[in-house]
Amino acid sequence: MITIYVYVLDTLADWELGYVTSELNSSRFFKMDAQCVSLKTVSYSKDPIHTMGGLTIVPDCLIEDMIASETSVLLLPGANTWSDPKHGTIIEKTIEFLSAGAIVGAICGATVALANIGVLDKRPHTSNGSGFLEMFSPCYKGQRFYIDKPSVADNNLITAGSTGGLLWAKQIIEHLDVFQSETLEAWYKYFSTGKPEHFFALMQTLPSNNEN
């Protein structure tokens, strides 16, 4: 069982999580022998949070309920409220997850939170463009490890900028090995280009279409 923890906080950027959470939670394109996935929203309290898009989310569990292991994933979405000290606990928890071999995915504003505690100082990473982390994280020292791409995977740390949600999702799914490789490639091509031939190619890769 793979447990996906999605940290939720006020002003969460809804669109950044859309691809990865919908595919992992629905399992609609999973390969036959893929591990089951449990997706849980987590926060510092059980109080409802309000996303940037106006949605209300009631967290499923608290930070202290999380279990860090090689079958865990922690997703940190973008938000305008990462500077609030009450989110410090989840950022510290990130170090525990990385050390345990869990996947940590951070996108947009969450990369600033990681930069603030030095997680990005010696690992390949990306964010919202060159100079962004310096602007919002005065203690950031990872300039020589910065890669100017929409999303960057460095073993179990996967970072992305605000427009990198699709590639970020692809890299997380690839790391979890829940799609067949040809399914993932067709899925990515379809959603990145919108061309119908990639949709039909995607459908042909699914287990139900390959039984005969």
Q: Which residues belong to the active site?
A: 108
φ and ψ at residue 7, rounded to 5 degrees:
-75, 130
CB contact at 8 A, 107 and 160:
yes
Q: How far is CA 109 from the centre of its chain?
A: 12
Residue with tokens 């600033």: 112
* Closest to 202 (Cα-Cα) out of 20, 30, 65: 30
Rounded-to-integer distance, Cα 84 and Cα 19, Å: 27
* Closest to 30 (Cα-Cα) out of 200, 190, 179: 179
